[in-house]
Structure formats: structure tokens, C-alpha cells
Amino acid sequence: MKKLVLLTLLVTGFTFAQNSNKFSITESVKHNREVEKYIALIIISEDLAYNNYESPQTYDQIKTNYFNRLRNKDVNTDMLKENKEAYFHQYGYRRKGSVFVLETSSKKEFLNVLSTRTDGVNVYEKSVEFKPLTDAQVAEFSKKALSKAKKRATLIAAASGKKIGKILEINHIPNGETTEYYNEKYNRQNFSVSVVYELLD
């Protein structure tokens, strides 16, 4: 039993020594993503018409009123694609209604949709899909992030009486290509890299 404990201690010590020769750090560069398209998922439903229970609006009345309001704000309603199946299967409304999806490259048109409010209509989801980063952007952001990582790693290693050696491993931490639209900073993202350096005495 004593031999087993001693062996365990030796193995643990060796693992720690091995790991102590490495130093991991993560750095990032802020940048603005270019937008591919804006997406709004719109629900039109008799269930959402709250204001007049004595003379409730029909689905057709709600839809006509809403589409007219959109056209008055220069929104091309032909771009709204209907998905009736999603209305019942995904959202569980009981009365007549439907789901429409708008995809547009125009931020103005997208914001006009978000600002158009009427009884019986709810913009259920709003999101942004980004253009892929170009090779030039990846190279630029990688260079900046690696430079920041090296600078900070050097300072931290020096504070512990050591210095960094060669890079042993690099990992990129990717962002999603789609994000929820919530404020004007929706396209602000971090390009992040995680770097493992050799740690020298």
C-alpha cells in the first residue's frame, strides 16, 4: 500500500513538472463584422389581438392592416415569406394566424419592420447574419491577437521569474455567423486566440 502511495506521488509530481513548463494565455481583437442580411420572424395572430374583445379583428383584417403599415414605411411586403406550418407546430397558437420571415440586406427596411407595431402582430425573433471573414481579415486579426498575447505572456512570466519560449500550440476561438439583434453594437465581436507557450527558467 505504501509503495502504491509513493508511486502515485511520484506520478503526480512528474505530471505537475511537465505541465509547469507550459503557459497558456488568451487574447482578442475587437472588430466590426459586415452584415450579410437582417432577419425578422413575425407572428400575425388573432390570439395576439387584445384591444377589442367585443369586436375582435379577424386574421385577414390584422394582416391587411399590418401590411399596409409596412408599405407606408417603404417595406417591400413581397419579401415576407409565409410559413403556416411553423405557426401551429412550433408556437402553439390556437386561433387563426401565420408566421412570416423577412430577410433583407437593408438595415433601414429591417428597422422599419421592428418599429411598425399594431394589434395582433409580434416580431418574435430578430437576428443578423454576418458575411464570412476574408483571408486578409483573418491574417490581420490573428497577427494583432498573437502580438497582444506575446506581450501579456512575457509580462506575466517575468513577474514569476520566468520567460516564455516558443509557441507550442495555437487555437482560434470562433464566433457564430449569426447573432441576435439587440442594440447598435450587434456587429461588434472579438477575434480570439488561445496560445500555449513554452515556459523557461
Q: What distance in Å separates the CA atoms of residue 33 and residue 44, rounded to the nearest whole number?
A: 32
Q: Which CATH class is domain 35-130?
A: alpha beta
Question: What residue spans of 30-134 are helical by DSSP H?
Answer: 59-72, 84-89, 107-115
Give the pLDDT score at 10.
Answer: 32
Q: How many CA atoms are closer than 13 Å to the CA of 81, on its beta-carbon side?
A: 7
Fold of 21-33+132-200: Translation Initiation Factor IF3 (3.30.110)
- Residue bearing cell 515556459: 199
Give the pLDDT score at 9.
Answer: 33
Give the pLDDT score at 167.
Answer: 96
Q: What distance in Å separates the CA atoms of residue 195 and residue 170, rounded to the nearest whole number?
A: 5
Give the pLDDT score at 51.
Answer: 61
Q: What is the mean pLDDT of each run of 10 residues along the chain (201 residues)?
A: 38 37 94 96 88 74 96 95 85 85 95 93 94 96 97 94 95 90 86 96 87
> Closest by alpha carbon to 45, among 86, 16, 105?
86
Give the pLDDT score at 92.
Answer: 73
Residue ranges of domains in the chain? 21-33+132-200, 35-130
Q: How far is CA 92 from the centre of its chain?
A: 27
Convert 85-101 to b/e letters by CB count within 10 Å (16 or more is b): eebeeeeebeeebbbbe
Do 21-33+132-200 and 35-130 show the same overall fold? no
Give the β-pairing of 188-200 and 22-32: antiparallel
Q: Is the sign of the CA dihedral 101, 104, 107, 108 positive or negative? A: negative
